[in-house]
Amino acid sequence: MPTDWPSVPKVVLHEHLDGNLRPETLLELCRERGVALPADTPDALQHWIHTQANSGSLERYVAAFGLTVAAMATPQACERVAFEAVQDCAVDGALLIELRMAPLLLEMHGLGGDEAVSALLAGLARGSAATGVPAGLIVCGMRSDAPSAVMRSAELALRFAGKGVVGYDLAGAERGFPATMHASAIAKAKEAGLGLTLHAGEADVGERVIEAIDLGATRIGHGVQITVSGEAGEGAVSRMARARDSGVHFEVCPTSNLHTGAWNDLKTHPLTAMQKAGLNWSVQADNRLISVLTQGSEFQAVHDVCGLPLAQIMQGQLRAAQASFLPAAERSRAAEQIKAWCMEQSIAIN
Ligand SMILES: [Zn+2]
């Protein structure tokens, strides 16, 4: 019997709010704000975004967010987008939801960081109340920004720690912008007790993953280049051993990797090598709107195309529950629900 992918329990660790809008919402918000639109129906708009994003370049992929960020630059829009994202994740089987955004991107459109974060948290809270699924916010800094701007994003995150912001991340273009440039902002977030996840080893080399671990990250966004041996320095085998021993969790988003050019073929996606190396990973969606997918469809893709058994996918979701930055009681509840579902389905995980 084919798997009903939306009914499979999931843990959302890696999704960007500005990459997850419903196309209809994006269209409405752009019209309300007078943002010039490249298309005038939800389908045509989604197609346009997908074409921009599916370009084989992380830089071009990130540029496709220009429209969504412009659309989100009011408190009402932030609240609505966050609320709808929680609803959409819940419909897709989510038990825990962490959503992320770089709020300071909205400044150029006139919305301040504190106002944006307050509105995003209000939307997450309304979504949680409506669905019963716990949700938290990860604040991102943009790694291509000056260290002072990234520090401001960490300070913003800290002002909302304990009020719904559960973690800190660096996102955006990677090559030429190593996380070490922003070591003080990262240390500030980490020392204040926020969860730390860093995009690393997505477009740039696997060594960036090791740097992220050394900076205190307990989770890595993507990290797939860790499976590739570089021209200099230690090779993939020793880097993967280092990552495995650290216990760091990899938030792996396979289709996004194809769209950004981080990898070129789903059949040979590094997830298989990561599994063989004993790494701690889970399948994540990254951007539902931009890549036209759901987390459920990502499970299906890695199952059908990469040949990963459902048991490995679900073991990954259990690890994701354990790696979540949400409160311990909520993590344990989700872990128990995943175990119970697997037992019911006779899927062996441990
Ligand atoms: Zn991401």
**pLDDT one-digit tens code per residue, 15-29:** 999 999 999 999 999
How much distance in Å is there from the Cα of 327 to the middle of ligand 1? 22
Q: How far is the CA of 222 from the centre of ligand 1 (A)?
A: 7
CA of 88 to the centre of ligand 1 (A): 18
Average confidence (pLDDT) over 271-277: 95
* pLDDT attached to residue 233: 52
pLDDT at 216: 97
In this structure, what are the phi and psi dihedrals at residue 31, rounded to the nearest 5 degrees? -65, -45
Instruction: Please state the rounded mean pLDDT for residues 62-83.
Output: 92
What residues are paired with 136 via a beta bridge? 98
Neighbours of 31 (CB within 10 A): 12
Of 265, 212, 201, the C-alpha closest to 58 is: 201
Catalytic residue among 15, 98, 174, 202: 202
| Span from the CA of 1 to the centroid of ligand 1 (angstroms) | 33
CA 136–ligand 1 middle distance (angstroms): 16
317: pLDDT confidence band, cut at 50, 70 and 90?
very high
Contact of 254 with 298, CB cutoff 8 Å: yes
CB 92 within 8 A of CB 317: no
pLDDT above 80: residue 30: yes
CA 186/CA 142 separation, integer angstroms: 12
Q: What is the model's pLDDT at position 232? A: 57
Ligand 1 center to residue 298 CA distance, Å? 14
pLDDT confidence tier of residue 1, bands split at 50, 70 and 90: low
Distance 14 CA to ligand 1 centre (A): 6
- CA count, 13 A, side-chain hemisphere, 128: 18
Ordered domains of the chain (ranges, CATH): 19-344 (3.20.20.140)
The verdict on whether 344 is a catalytic residue reads: no
Distance, CA 16 to ligand 1 centroid (Å)?
Answer: 6
User: Per-residue pLDDT tens for 84-128?
Assistant: 999 999 999 999 999 999 999 999 999 999 999 999 999 999 999
Lowest-pLDDT range of 32-36, 248-252, 294-298, 315-319: 32-36
**CA dihedral angle for residue 116, residue 160, residue 120, residue 153, rounded to 10 degrees:** 50
Q: Which residues contact 319 (CB under 8 A, 6 or more apart)?
A: 249, 280, 281, 282
The pLDDT, as a whole number, for residue 267 is 95
Give residue 350's pLDDT: 87
Average pLDDT, the chain: 94
